[in-house]
Amino acid sequence: MLLLATSCLQGEPLARACLTLLALGGDGLQLCPGNLPSPGLEALLSRVQTTLRLHHGFTWDARVAPVWEVDGAPLLPMAGRSVHPPQTTPTGGLEAWLARAAREGWVVELMPPGWILSDEGSIDAAMAAGLRLAVDVSHLHILRASGRLSEAGERRVMDYAHIAELHVSDNDGRLDLHRPTSRESYGVGWARERADAETPMILESYLHGLNNDARKTLLERLQTP
């Protein structure tokens, strides 16, 4: 399954982004913060036969909503939503937060440096707790290139049983650039093999600079075995 993140067209009105992305031919959408709200869109999409997932601070009524209390309690409904972890360790400690997140079935994304779940120790702790993970291959690239994740640690992530989402875009190993993917992009081959009907691959590349034909070609390369 291939979903297209509305962050591919970040900054555009949400309705226009959704309709443009649906026309490209993926299997559905991941609704992300960063687009301008479009009144009436929730009702419209409810009538469309497509898969919808929510990401982090997405809300229908604002460009972005806060996600976490200081103790790591969620401020938004977590069903159908993947989230970035808090940027700093919750007041109750990381171990207790991971236990709650795993117990309640939250889907939490591995992150680049500057967040929790952005080094080998905390990632191993998350997997030991049984946390459902959203694995962003661009973030893995940065963690490997920066030395925060070893080759063995990366293999443990890739072999982990409880991966709920696979996020794909391209970068240079230093910054999370969200460049358009190619077959050679870091981790994309693994993500294509790992994705299935229950574990979608989600394209998060910025598509603003590509024309419609180039966008469709990018999708076809991701969808073709």
What is the rounded average pLDDT of the residues 81-100? 97
- Beta-ladder partners of 108: 83, 133
Q: Looking at this protein, which amino acid is placed at residue 207? A: L
Q: Model's pTM, two decimal places?
A: 0.97
Q: Please, what is the average pLDDT of the chain?
A: 97
Per-residue pLDDT of 44-78, as tens digits, reads: 999 988 999 999 999 999 999 999 999 999 999 99
% the chain with pLDDT above 90? 98
Closest CA to 168 of 209, 131, 198, 140: 140
Q: What is the per-residue pLDDT for 225? A: 78
Q: What are the tens digits of pLDDT across the range 156-197?
A: 999 999 999 999 999 999 999 999 999 899 999 999 999 999
Domains of the chain: 2-223 (3.20.20.150)
